[in-house]
Amino acid sequence: MYQDVILDHYKNPHGRGLRDGDAEVHHVNPTCGDEITLRVRYEGGTVKDVSYEGQGCSISQASASVLNELLVGKELSEARRIQETFLELMQSKGQLEPDDAMEDVLEDAVAFAGVSKYPARVKCALLSWMAWKDATAKALGTTEADAAKEKTA
């Protein structure tokens, strides 16, 4: 379960710390107390930044680092595809052997395949990804509402 890639991200997290964003969310995993505060910033359809601060196990913290590395700079549609693929892998109960196509999409995140065998830890790995999805909905919701407001004004 503890692949070197995961331990590397845990010890040297990418993009950690809170920076300006369009929306912020706070997610917790009540069963173990993992917490994350996550902000997203969009420019047009591009993920400009995902910044975060949190505490928790190596799996939850490394997963947030991998998320930052994978999603920042991507078009939203591509970022969503990565998030959905990661979700599919994590919900596979260890039954899914990532193929080349999946590895192309997930890069370092395929290292979490082993975590999917441990039901108690899947939530740790998904914490930041669910927070990102939520923050994105919030950011784009606001942007769309603002745009609508501008139109009516």
Partner 1 sequence: MTEARQGLPGLLDTEAIRKDFPILDRQVHDGRKLVYLDNAATSQKPTQVLDALAGYYERHNANVHRGVHVLAEEATALYESARDKVAAFINAPSRDEVVFTKNASESLNLVANMLGWADEPYRVEQGTEIVITEMEHHSNIVPWQLLAQRSGAELKWFGLTDEGRLDLSPIDELITERTKVVALTLVSNIMGTHNPVETIVRRAQEVGALVVVDASQAAPHMVLDVQALQADFVAFTGHKMCGPTGIGVLWGRQELLNDLPPFLGGGEMIETVTMHSSTYAPAPHKFEAGTPPVAEAVGLGAAVDYLSAIGMERIQQHEHALTEYAVRRLQEIPDLRIIGPATAEDRGATISFTLGDIHPHDVGQVLDEQGIAVRVGHHCARPVCLRYGIPATTRASFYLYSTPAEVDALADGLEHVRNFFA
With CA atoms as reference, report the closest residue to 127 among 39, 32, 28: 28
135, 18 contact by CB (below 8 A): no
| Position 21 contacts partner 1 (CB under 8 A) | no
Instruction: Tell me which of 24, 35, 53, 78 binds partner 1, using CB under 8 A.
Output: 35
Which region among 27-35, 69-77, 100-108, 138-146 touches partner 1 (by CB under 8 A)?
Answer: 27-35
32 lies in the binding site for partner 1 (CB under 8 A):
yes
CB environment 103-136: b (16+ within 10 A), e (fewer) = eebbebbbbbbebbeeeebbbbbbbbbbbbbbbb
Please identify, using beta-carbon distances, which residue of 102 and 118 lies nearer to partner 1: 118
Q: Distance between alpha carbon 54 and the CA centroid of its chain, in Å? A: 13
Is residue 116 within 8 Å of residue 92, measured between CB atoms? yes
Stretch of 13-21, 54-62, 84-92, 129-137 contacting partner 1, by CB under 8 A: 54-62
Find the binder of partner 1 among 33, 73, 119, 141 (CB under 8 A): 33
Picking from 112, 128, 132, 137, the residue whose alpha carbon sits closest to that of residue 35 is 128
User: Binder to partner 1 among 9, 27, 41, 121 (CB under 8 A)?
Assistant: 121
Which amino acid is it at 74?
A: K
CB 142 within 8 A of CB 25: no
Stretch that binds partner 1, among 57-65, 83-91, 101-109, 139-147 (CB under 8 A): 57-65
From 18-26, 33-41, 67-75, 125-133, span contacting partner 1 (CB under 8 A): 33-41
User: Which residues form the interface with partner 1 (CB under 8 A)?
Assistant: 1-2, 7, 31-35, 55-59, 118, 121, 124
